[in-house]
Amino acid sequence: MVVVGAAAALVELSPEVFGRRTGGPLACEGCGRTATAGPAEIGEVVSMGPLTLENEGSETVTLERIELMDVDRGLEFVGTLVVEPDGRSPLVGSGYGFPPRKPGGTTHSVRGYVLPPATKGNRFVQILVGIRLKTPGIAGARRMVVYYRAGDVPYRAFYDHSVWLCTDPGPSPRCIDPDWYER
């Protein structure tokens, strides 16, 4: 009994001892799979905004980093930014350059960004991802993971939001890998 009580106290006081929890106040359980895609020249940096984050918890969260997962060799990760929407300009779905000239609000570094709990005003931020093609053809990243803390508790939240670039110059380029798209 004493061992169980001590273990429970350790988890409550220092949850990071047992690693990160999955989900948490930034998780979006009902979110489906999405894809943002577009044509680009090899080496051209593109900004894509496939992810919005809203703190559904009662504590402030602090972002640590965002990673792309299941990345094709032909795609290079350039970086991420947080955009606080200004309410006047549209947010970036995709655009050339990173950061884009008109991101739709104020940009901030991901590391250390503090997101308070959402209120009736539905406070959210957009995550911009900078990527570029290294080779001709189609290349993408199939998922994203956000690492963050709510208070002292470390979390990671997974999102099935993919980003794709292609060198297809046609009027209607199919920049998403058909094998991923048809699943």
Domain of 78: which CATH number? 2.60.40.10
- The answer as to whether 6 is a domain residue is no
Query: How many other CB atoms are there within 10 angstroms of residue 166's CB atom?
Result: 22
Q: Model confidence at 9, in pLDDT bands (50, 70, 90)?
A: very low
- The answer as to whether 5 is a domain residue is no
Query: How many other CB atoms are there within 10 angstroms of residue 167's CB atom?
Result: 18
What is the rounded CA–CA span in Å between residue 34 and residue 26? 17
- Secondary structure letter of residue 16 according to DSSP: G
- The answer as to whether 167 is a domain residue is yes
- The answer as to whether 82 is a domain residue is yes
What dihedral angle (degrees, nearest 10) is formed by the CA atoms of 93, 52, 146, 14?
Answer: 170
What is the total count of domains within the chain? 1
For 166, the domain range is: 21-181
Q: What is the mean pLDDT of residues 94-113?
A: 92
Q: What pLDDT, in 10s, does the model give residues 138-154?
A: 999 999 999 999 999 99
| pLDDT at residue 122, as a whole number | 63
- Secondary structure letter of residue 102 according to DSSP: -
Q: Which of 21-25, 82-86, 168-172 has the lowest mean pLDDT?
A: 168-172
- The answer as to whether 143 is a domain residue is yes
What is the rounded CA–CA span in Å between residue 173 and residue 167? 8
- The answer as to whether 15 is a domain residue is no
pTM, to two decimals: 0.83
Q: What are the DSSP calls for 20-77, one per residue?
A: PEES-TT--TT---EEEEEE--TT-EEEEEEEEE---SSS-EEEEEEEEEEE-TTEEE
